[in-house]
Structure 1
Amino acid sequence: MKIFYYILTIFFFLSCSDQRALERIEIQLDKETLNPVRNPGERGTIRIIGCDSKGNTWDIPLSDVALSVRTVNASGNVEVAALSGDQLIPKDGGLAEVTAVYQKDGTTYSAKKKVVVTPYYRDYHQTLVLKLFMGYDGELNEPDPNNVIFQHKDPSRLCTFAEALDVVKRVDHLTRGIPKIIYLVGWQRGGHDHLYPDWSIVNPKLKREEDATALESLRWLIREARAYNTTISLHINMVDAFEESPLWDTYIKNDIIARDVNGNLKSIWEYVKGHKAYHLSYTKEWEKGFAKTRIDNLIEMVPELKEGHTIHIDAFMAYWQPENRPLSPWHAKPENGGIDMYKEVVTQRKIFKYWREKGFDVTGEGIFWAHPAGEGFVGLQPMSWWFPADINFQMEVPERLSARGRTHRDGQGDFRFGSSMQGEEIFQKDKDNLPGFLSQFCTMTLPWYYLSRLERVAFIDDALYYSDGVVARVEDGKKIICKGDFILRENDNLFVPALWNENEIIAYSAEGYDNRSWRMPEGWEKVSSVDIYSITMNGSTLKQSAVPVKNGLLMLTLEKEEAVSIVPAGQQLL
């Protein structure tokens, strides 16, 4: 009996000692990313953990803890998440932060934890998003030596729907089947920047001979592209209007077209002779019910779009940036509605959410561009090209919440954060041979895809530290991305796991090298030999078989601008 009480006393003392030795508390979430669109009803469960200096941990009852959650970054500063007991409930898209406060023996302990709500149908941080230019009718108002489109024999028929499928196949070969979205530019009659605000007429110049209409050809292309890991969708515009549009008279009658301060119609640009562009007011269009109508009609016209769950809105601006004025100075007057850029942004948010209600994410070009200061549509727009270089924003907002395509029109952008590509300029120059596509994919999209799966932990002394032991920095003048002694990038020599495929590495070199030794990544410890395939736009062909891996190292030789796929010997290449 004495032994029993002695053991009980020791147990009680150790239990109390653990509590008195509390060093810190931590918040644990079973789900740090919530997606109420793809997982309706999804919630996160919160636990509060006590930790001592020796690494011992125990649960602290939530009844003893004060919990709160606040929005960190979201368009409109909406409520991103709410608390209900130990449950974290997603409310709207954005970044939120949970705070826990616990008091014990006269000491206050606190902890914070970020949670991301991504109300998106697609994972844009794990998707290559491209644009394919189809055509542009008309004659340039002024010569533009930088415009390769009008250097073609027939700019109005740059790429037909049948030719587009050939592009899709070649791109799928070069990218080794990575998930892709391609937005078609100039798919409507007249090509790019024609017919707006109408979207109802598909360009007859692009149709296949075997189809009765161009609409049939467009729908065919969307269906066929799925076999090549590609979603085809449309590049549209919701701010421009043209006099030849079937909706022009209706929009004039309903006072939707923008006007200058004196109430007169004023063209904003005339890139093609006789083809004047005007703005419209999102707010006026929304209030009259026409915005919903044209969205609904497009989806009904091309039902295949809904399976892809994505649409691209070009130039989705809130004010006319060259003149730093409202879209419609006339309607911005208080007596005419007071529709300034802030009211237009409120309407834009409604447009984003209506598209979402209909089953679509909306991507765009640029954030913090032609919008009120700080408006990046976080939680509404899942992906953008021409991403801001603001390091603080990039460190705060994870890629899965606000993903990037190509970040700069020239060069590779900041390799530490990564940059994908757009492809449009390559397709315009030579859609048959795709010069430079493989290089951009391997030096930009490939490392970006890898880094985008990780958390950005800290930016110290120009080095970017990621979760999972990965760091990106300049070492001895070289651009390095590594995980310990596993090197993924050294300048434009890449050796990166193609994580969308099982057991595959893509290696690429801009200048080429002989007999370079590469450390194999985690998970390849049991691989003793590999097969190496050359990557081309016509498919992958076996280059070397059963190449030995010795002590975790692979000896590799690459020609200039050569890319290869590496898989365990005998594994069938997908």
Structure 2
Amino acid sequence: MKTLFYILITLFCLSCSMQNKLEEITIRLDKETLNPVRNPGERGTLHVTGRYSNGKTTDLPLSDIALSVRTVSASGNVEVIALSGDQLIPKDGGLAEVTAVYQKDGATYQAKKRVVVAPYYRDYHQTLVLKLFMGYDGELNEPDPNNVIFQHEDPSRLCTFGHALDVVKRVDNLTRGIPKIIYLVGWQRGGHDHLYPDWSIVNPKLKREEDATALESLRWLIREARAYNTTISLHINMVDAFEESPLWDTYIKNDIIARDANGNLKSIWEYVKGHKAYHLSYTKEWEKGFAKPRIDHLIDMIPELKDGHTIHIDAFMAYWQPENRPLSPWHAKPENGGIDIYKEVETQRKIFKYWREKGFDVTGEGIFWAHPAGEGFVGLQPMSWWFPDDKNFQMEIPERLSARGRTHREGQGDFRFGSSMQGEEIFQKDLANLPGFLSQFCTMTLPWYYLSRLERVAFVDEALYYSEGVIARVEDGKNIIRKGDFILRENDNLFVPALWNDNEIIAYSGDGYESHSWLMPEGWEKVGAVDVYSISMNEPARKLSAIPVDNGLLKLALGKGEAVSIVPAGQSLTR
């Protein structure tokens, strides 16, 4: 009997052991994004969890687990994350991957988890970034029918600083108070592409009458725009140089201006008559000690810029693309310094980090453009326009690490990934009426903002799967973005929560419709009626009151190109 009893006990224990077999391990992080700029000293904590065949889970001792970390994507392939016990220590900006390996009962288990280090002052994936063109002095060297700037009566003062605040107010109304950054183009004397490398003289043509100087007007604009959810900053350039610049003679004397292979100065373009542009070498400027003071002086001159924590560097290239040559062929020769495109990129990284040290993010107009192959300044440049179509890159790099503005100069881009807007071409065309602005905002920025806060999980059969159950794909010939039965987009009909405001939905229609029933999103289950406000350049006006929501459905009618804000009945509308 004892023998049978022991056999039964043994079988029972074996059965329990089999039921409690470890099936998989997973890595759990308390923070999947670290920001050492806004949160100095911030670290992440790592746990490895085992899941057993009986459905139970438990944290495994890290002493029994082999942990490693690698950089997935970062400019210069720098170390993004270091491990110390269960702590993730951010080292530099980029995307990293943690791997855990665990062995038990003759089996080996592995888990991976990615972590982002985004060392930025601003959340560009949740910000509308625009450019506002102020002015351009001179006469075109050759006729350019595509340049609407010079079709105006006075291109040199397309938008004054006083007028710019009116634009800011109207844009804030059109965008329902979404956080915005607007970079001013042509804010310096002479307007766009003048005076470089100098940044010390604000364009007097843009001054308000009530101010003593144009600098006072610019600083006034930056302060006033804050009341309209708008950060005003500057569009600058660090690669071009012009003979009329106050710094020209100094830069020539110190051998900073780029030269051709024979050592001669060579203009790269002359868009405006008599206004020849030259390149300079970032590395020569940095080594000669002129780059930091140039940056410092601009910040000291306009201290209001510090609060915005952002600057835009135009044409931040590492080589001259039309000829696929170094910025300065003369200095690229070994005997003259060996400053090739790779050395210029090393200096560009120093420039990025110096701006960051001074409290600024640096945005640009492109990545993988006029740089060595594969250089997208991941972890350094938080946002750019004209984003690459490379689906692999877009799937790998989260929007919060490398955000996009407008992705294509024409059209809306790939609706599945989303695209914001730039606004510059609209401002240039008609500052008074802003034609097409509302359409671009609603069909591009609005869904992009919603999607950018999610993780891109998988791209399968032309469908893009996001976290939180969101999917973007073509269904029955229509561009659809949905979360379960809740449809945010059906071609150019949009019904999207305005997540920067409390309890607000923006609806828009490109062609208009007489009647369309929209399913309300999560969180609106208890809302029985809504108020509808028109969206325009003016303050929002109530269009309809207490419209019933029946069984979670809201019936709407919209005109062509019309947008409205929808809030629970009786709720005041947030600006």
Fold match (TM-score > 0.5)? yes
| SS of 1:550 mapped into structure 2 | coil
For the 8 Å contact 1:204–1:213, the answer to whether it is kept is yes
Matches of 1:15 and 1:303 in 2, distance apart?
72
Q: Which residue of 2 aligns with 1:292?
A: 292
Q: Which residue of 2 aligns with 1:474?
A: 474
Q: Which residue of 2 aligns with 1:448?
A: 448
Q: Which residue of 2 aligns with 1:3?
A: none
Matches of 2:15 and 2:408 in 1, distance apart?
58
Question: Aligned-pair distance for 1:515?
Answer: 1.5
| SS of 1:365 mapped into structure 2 | coil
Q: Which residue of 2 aligns with 1:163?
A: 163
For the 8 Å contact 1:38–1:121, the answer to whether it is kept is yes
Matches of 2:51 and 2:20 in 1, distance apart?
11
Matches of 2:36 and 2:357 in 1, distance apart?
12
| SS of 2:535 mapped into structure 1 | strand
Mapping of residues 40-51 of structure 1, within 5 Å: 40-51=40-51
Q: Encode CA deviations 1:49-76: one digit per residue, 9 max, x unaligned.
A: 0012443211110001000010000000
| SS of 2:549 mapped into structure 1 | strand
Mapping of residues 135-534 of structure 1, within 5 Å: 135-534=135-534
Give the 4+ runs in structure 1 shifted more than 3 A. Answer: 12-16
Q: Which runs of 5+ in 2 are unaligned?
A: 1-5
Matches of 1:54 and 1:473 in 2, distance apart?
38
| SS of 1:368 mapped into structure 2 | coil
Matches of 2:172 and 2:18 in 1, distance apart?
57
User: Which amino acid counterpart does residue 373 of structure 2 have in structure 1?
Assistant: A
Question: Aligned-pair distance for 1:407?
Answer: 0.1
Give the TM-score of the pair, scaled to structure 2.
Answer: 0.97
Matches of 2:564 and 2:414 in 1, distance apart?
25
For the 8 Å contact 2:457–2:465, the answer to whether it is kept is yes
Question: Aligned-pair distance for 1:432?
Answer: 1.1
Q: Which residue of 1 aligns with 2:3?
A: none
| SS of 1:293 mapped into structure 2 | helix
Q: Which residue of 2 aligns with 1:539?
A: 539
User: Which amino acid counterpart does residue 537 of structure 1 have in structure 2?
Assistant: M
Q: Which residue of 1 aligns with 2:72?
A: 72
Percent of aligned positions with the same letter in both sequences? 87
Matches of 1:295 and 1:185 in 2, distance apart?
17
Matches of 2:292 and 2:391 in 1, distance apart?
37
Q: Which runs of 5+ in 1 are unaligned?
A: 1-5
| SS of 2:374 mapped into structure 1 | coil
User: Which amino acid counterpart does residue 447 of structure 1 have in structure 2?
Assistant: P
User: Which amino acid counterpart does residue 120 of structure 1 have in structure 2?
Assistant: Y
Q: Encode CA deviations 1:323-352: one digit per residue, 9 max, x unaligned.
A: 000000000000000000000000000000
Matches of 1:277 and 1:532 in 2, distance apart?
52
Question: Aligned-pair distance for 1:17?
Answer: 2.8
Mapping of residues 76-115 of structure 1, within 5 Å: 76-115=76-115
Matches of 2:16 and 2:100 in 1, distance apart?
22
For the 8 Å contact 1:18–1:52, the answer to whether it is kept is no
For the 8 Å contact 1:184–1:233, the answer to whether it is kept is yes
| SS of 2:540 mapped into structure 1 | strand
Matches of 2:446 and 2:379 in 1, distance apart?
25
C-alpha RMSD over aligned residues: 1.4
For the 8 Å contact 1:189–1:204, the answer to whether it is kept is yes
User: Which amino acid counterpart does residue 328 of structure 1 have in structure 2?
Assistant: S
Matches of 2:92 and 2:54 in 1, distance apart?
40
For the 8 Å contact 2:19–2:54, the answer to whether it is kept is no
